[in-house]
Amino acid sequence: MQFTRKSLALGIALLAGSSSLFAAVSPEQAAQLGQTLTPMGAEQSGNEAGTIPSWEGGLSTSDNRYADPFASEKPIVTITAANLDQHKAYLSPGQQALFMKFPDTYKLNVYPTHRTAKVPENIQAKTKENALNAALANDGNSVSNLSEGVAFPIPANGLEAIWNHMTRYRGGSLERTFVQVPVQANGNFTPVKINEKMSWPNYLDGEKSKQENILFYFVQQVQAPARLTGNVLLVHETVNQVTQPRQAWTYNAGQRRVRRAPQIAYDAPGTATDGQRTTDNLDMFNGAPDRYDWKLVGKQEMYIPYNSFKLADRELTYKNILQRGHMNPDLTRYELHRVWKVEATLKEGARHIYAKRTFYIDEDSWQIAVVDHYDGRGELWRVGEAHQLQYRDVDVPWIAAEALYDLQSGRYLVGSLTNEEGIGFDFSKRFKYKDFTPQAIRRLGKR
């Protein structure tokens, strides 16, 4: 496994484990964005072996977003438990553990690499503004002078890297209907249908946010099965969740009441997950970073889920995708990409069910691709994977699915599947502030 430090030659200080918090980079460093670095801060060039190509602008067309542009490609290698030793250098410990857990059924098909990630030009420009102006504040628990887009395209430490994931572009405003599926160890499952609405403050229709310190607004409504229908969650995601904790409310259909929900954070159980993920597992990581020490280890080459058009095929059913132990490996696609490796270690005296988490973040999109979660004994517990998809008609890099595998119980959870849900992700939606109020979720719950 080759760690690359090309960014050092560009004057970027990768101070692994440093507790110092850095402000904006110099104009000379920022000038590399769009030159030797991509507009989002990735290395423009490919690798020396030629197995990772240069970034040529990403994938952007007006075609059907789910049509697979790489459907004719065949795997260049298929990794199984039998040949795992030859490929360990490009897999995380958690990914390797899945082969040991399911030696007879788990495999990983590796395809040619395509650097398809792209965001709109105005987001690229705002990301460069962030490079010049944004800075960590309040011991790294907040970002000052943040415009839209990635906060720190040229990261100096682990906190900046994780903030990049949390501030990355996801369309600005959207509505999505998807299923979240807790799969039992024997393969049985019941899909949970969920509708979500999200808006960043400057995308609110005809008005600005009525609050400061807001990263985005979020409403989640469970639509099936019947026993969960009517439960609604509202979140005002704050930038600084230490000085102003995440504001959350829930509507309980049985009680017909809206209640404040300060517990919707950190390791509180996620909504309708059968206890298979924490609140801060959603989107691979979200929320306040204050309970961990963050270390930027460096950059490495790794097999990660990417260009998951086959997994997003609208002809597939959930039964096609979800198998005992893991998703159908014939439907997943992995490619060799460069990732930032970030280690998060629980601070002394802090509480969380994960004592350590290792994040592998795609350099092109700042989407967390893989996470290894360790329990209090230091043993691998859960492995998270985000199956990246470029929504090429709107220039949004996000996911076709996110999976969280429990190595100890054999259960797993898959979210964001839209194969049977019609439009799935609708990035054309615009909302008003009143759509993200306690009164709004009371109305939703009563329908």
Q: With contact defined as beta carbons under 8 Å apart, do 161 and 16 qualify?
A: no
Euclidean distance between CA atoms 426 and 286, whole angstroms: 22
* 3-state SS assignment for residue 86: helix
Q: From CA 417, how far away is CA 402, in angstroms rounded?
A: 8
Cα 443 to chain centroid distance, Å, stands at: 30
CA angle 60, 64, 72 (to 5 degrees): 85
Inform me whether the pLDDT recorded for 12 exceeds 60.
no
Element (DSSP H or E) covering residue 96:
helix 93-101
Mean pLDDT of the chain: 92
Spatial CB neighbours of 69, under 8 Å, sequence gap ≥ 6? 59, 309
Q: What is the identity of the amino acid at 228?
A: L
pLDDT at residue 21 tops 90: no
pLDDT tens-digit readout, 68-102: 999 999 999 999 999 999 999 999 999 999 999 99
Two structure tokens written together for 259:
């209640």
pLDDT at 209 (0 to 100): 56
Q: What is the DSSP string of 231-263?
A: -EEEEEEES-TTTSPPEEEEEETTTTEEEE-TT
- For residue 210, the model assigns a pLDDT of 58
How many other CB atoms are there within 10 angstroms of residue 389's CB atom? 25
pLDDT higher than threshold 50 for residue 17: no
Whether residue 288 is predicted with pLDDT greater than 50 in this model: the reply is yes
Distances in Å between the Cα of 436 and the Cα atoms of 215, 236, 259, 261 are 13, 8, 14, 15
Q: Is the pTM of this model over 0.75?
A: yes
Q: What is the pLDDT of residues 335-370, one digit of tens each?
A: 999 999 999 999 999 999 999 999 999 999 999 999
Backbone angles phi, psi at 235, to 5 degrees: -130, 130
Q: Is the dihedral of CA 92, 338, 411, 307 positive or negative?
A: negative
Q: Calculate Rg over the CA atoms of the chain.
A: 21
Average pLDDT over residues 39-58: 98
**Could you count the other beta carbons within 10 Å of the beta carbon of residue 297?**
18
The span from the CA of 187 to the CA of 193, in Å, is 19
Query: Which pLDDT does position 230 carry in this prediction?
Result: 82
pLDDT at 207: 65
C-alpha distances in Å from residue 12, one per residue of 9, 263, 298, 338: 7, 38, 12, 17
Q: How many CB atoms lie within 10 A of CB 226?
A: 7
